[in-house]
Amino acid sequence: MELPDFMSYANKFSSADFVEKISRIAKRAGAKLVYAALILYYTLQSDNVSKADKAIIIGALGYMISPLDVVPDAIPIAGLADDLAVLVFVLKKVWMNVEPEVKEKAKSKLSKWFDEDEVKEIDELFTNP
C-alpha cells in the first residue's frame, strides 16, 4: 500500500477534533488504530520530542481526523485501513522517542473502550497492522 501525502493534512489537526473523533470511532476502528493514535497524541504533548517528529505526528493525526482522505472513513473496513497505515508508519518513525509513561497512558485509556481480549491486539501492532 502506498501512503498518501498525509503531511498535507497537518492543518486539519486540533486536540478537540482528535478527542471527538477517537471517542466516536473507537469501537469501529479497533484497538490497534486507537492505540496508535493515542500514542501519537500523547507523544505530541511531550517536551522530549523533536519539532520534526511533532510535525509528522500532526500530519498523521490530521489525516486521521479529516473526513476527506484517500479512502473515506464511511467505507467499512477499508475506510480506516489507510488511517491505520499512516499512523503505524509514523509510529514506527518516532517509536524510539515514545516514553514508557505514554505507552501506559494510552493502554489505560484503551481499557475504557475495549475489553481485555481486544486490548491484547495491540501487541500485534507492528507485526500485523
Task: Note the pLDDT of residue 129.
Answer: 43
This prediction has a pTM of 0.81
What per-residue confidence (pLDDT) applies to 73? Answer: 56
pLDDT at 76 (0 to 100): 56
User: What's the rounded Cα separation, in Å, for the pair 103 and 97?
Assistant: 11
Determine contact, residues 48/100, Cβ cutoff 8 Å: no
Length of the chain counted residue by residue: 129
- Structure confidence at residue 48 (pLDDT): 87
Q: Which three cell numbers stand for residue 22?
A: 477517537
pLDDT along the chain (129 residues), means of 10: 72 88 84 94 92 94 80 62 89 92 93 88 70
